[in-house]
Amino acid sequence: MKKYNIGVVGALGAVGTEMLKTLEQRNFPVEHIVPLDVAENEGKEVVFKGEKVKVRTAQEGAFKDLDMALFSAGEAASLKLSPVAAAEGCIVIDNSNAFRMDPNVPLVIPEVNPEDLRWHKNIIANPNCSTIQMLVALKPLHDHFRIKRIVVSTYQAVSGTGLAGIAELENQVKAYAEKKPMEVSVYPHQIAFNALPHIDVFLENGYSKEEMKMVNETHKMLHDDSIAVCPTAVRIPVIRCHSEAINIETEKPVSPEEARQILAEAPGVKVLDDPLKNLYPLAAELVGTDDVYVGRIRKDISTENGLNMWVVADNLRKGAALNAVQIAETLVKMGLV
């Protein structure tokens, strides 16, 4: 089997760390792993397959010997370095928002639209974490019944903000337990014991940037701008795993029983749905898992062709690192590297 030289940009961050772990766990055919980060982190070490590997600086010239690089360093770094890496012959799989809506860059979930990888020009965008888990669950239903409208409310973990978000929640919980004032710096309000209907900046239409990502990315990956999408994104005091309450309206009638059967056979999906036995997806129980979990599948009693469901996935795995690695695996499988 051919092996590949793989870079991970932002290797010391929350998602970069998960990317390294995922490459190792899935036994991706790596010849050399090259962890890349900001200059001040050069020389620090990460462990990959039991070996210590020194971190290098992500800069021009660092990508010449790489086949692919997984980027998790944020939008500014991606805008600066992705074109450099692409020009040096390296395929970039970028986890930021930098190129998602660029018409010349494919935006891909392997279970949803792998065929779009065929027209890549050395940069491929990894979708938003919330969009990924939503569409992995909805694409099989869309294929059978055609979805006309999606209403989704997300309940997103603080790890979506990175290590700083995790630290802020932990520090506030500790302060609460010690009866000390809670310090607020990462989020606009206290996140511990709270729910913030505010992720990213608000736009002129009243929706947040995070919410509009779900609208625009859904249209791009399903190749259908006519699907109505109405999202509300909420940050909650959970460290890992995003949860979503999803309501869909379909062209053709769909029963909960049909939906369960289709989802049970869909790639990347697991159905946990027996409410009478308290069985449904829970964020606290799904940390470190790779699938998208679906439960509470029930008819929308307010409309004829409607369905409700509850969807949970690890935002650092399928919502970020795993999807990026799966894109790399699919490129290899399709002979596109």
CB 58 within 8 A of CB 73: yes
129 given a catalytic annotation: yes
**Domain 131-315, CATH among 3.30.360.10, 3.40.50.2000, 2.60.40.420, 3.30.990.10:** 3.30.360.10
Rounded percentage of the chain residues whose pLDDT exceeds 90: 98
CA distances from 298 to 111, 246, 279, 328 (A): 24, 11, 14, 35
Q: How far, in Å, CA of 117 to CA of 107, rounded?
A: 8
Residue 93 tokens read as: 């799989």
User: Mean pLDDT over residues 324-328, rounded?
Assistant: 98
CATH fit for domain 4-127+320-333, picks 3.40.50.300, 3.20.20.140, 3.40.50.720, 3.30.200.20? 3.40.50.720
Average confidence (pLDDT) over 247-254: 97
Nearest CA among 260, 249, 234, 252 for reference residue 300 = 249
Residue 200 gets the label, from left (phi > 0), alpha (psi -120 to 50) or beta, of: left
Q: What are the sequence ranges of the domains in the chain?
A: 4-127+320-333, 131-315
Q: Is 90 exceeded by the pLDDT of residue 64?
A: yes
Residue 1 clears pLDDT 90, i.e. is over it: no
Which of 250, 248, 255, 256 minimizes the C-alpha distance to 230?
248
Mean pLDDT confidence for 167-176:
98
Looking at per-residue pLDDT, the higher value among 331 and 163 belongs to 331
Query: Of residues 90, 129, 142, 241, which has the active-site annotation?
Result: 129
The catalytically annotated residue of 90, 120, 241, 242 is: 242
The H-or-E segment that residue 318 falls in is none
Q: Is 242 a catalytic residue?
A: yes
221-238 confidence digits (pLDDT tens): 999 999 999 999 999 999
Q: pLDDT by residue (tens digit) across 73-128?
A: 899 999 999 999 999 999 999 999 999 999 999 999 999 999 999 999 999 999 99
Stated pTM of the model: 0.95
